[in-house]
Amino acid sequence: MTTFAGLPAHILLVHLIVVLAPLTALLAIAAAFFPAVRRRLVWLILAFAAITLIATPITTDAGEWLEERVDETGALETHTELGDTMVYFAAALAVVAIALVVVHLRERTHPVTSKPVVVAVAVLALVVGVGTMVQVYRIGDSGARATWGDTSLSEQGEDSE
């Protein structure tokens, strides 16, 4: 995917990742620690994780297409390198979602699910979730710097006056 309605597809697709990856991470953490959340949202979390996993390489491919059409800078290189790591975080979110489904199904068939398994999944969800949110921030921040530079909005407003 290269363009959509004349805009580079990366610019549009990235918003899906920026919203869906942290949302999935937050829901996964909540589901890992609260059984009621897990019972209600486990399938939605799995669907969000799958969409994130599918959309991430499409988004990075679109970003690589765009990268070939703009001037190469250090900030762009940083953004590209960070962006290439997102697929690993998306895959880790999918693993957490699958683990949550396994815990959920096990709880339905065996009401007393092994406490160490539940704790391990909760720790995994917390580590992967926080890591994913931090990485999405880092990638987005580097992309903004690559696009807009280090100028603040107040500095841009002063330039236009």
pLDDT digits (tens, 9 = 90+) for 126-158: 999 999 999 999 999 999 998 888 655 455 555
Higher-pLDDT residue of 7, 119: 119
Which domains occur in the chain, in start order? Answer: 3-148 (1.20.120)
Distance spanning both ends of the chain, measured CA to CA? 39
Task: Give exposure, 97-131, as e/b (b: 16+ Cβ within 10 Å).
Answer: bebbbebbeebeeeeebeeeebeebbebbbebbee
- The whole-model pTM stands at 0.87
Q: Which tokens is 9 given?
A: 């597809």
pLDDT of res. 87: 98
| 100-114 pLDDT per residue, tens | 999 999 998 887 768
Is-contact 21 38, C-beta < 8 A?
no
pLDDT of res. 56: 97
Is-contact 28 49, C-beta < 8 A?
yes
Share of the chain above pLDDT 90, in %: 67
Residue 2 DSSP code: -
Instruction: Look up residue 13 and give its amino acid.
Output: L
pLDDT of res. 6: 81
Checking if the pLDDT of 46 tops 80, the result is yes
Banded pLDDT at 119 (limits 50, 70, 90): very high
pLDDT of res. 127: 98
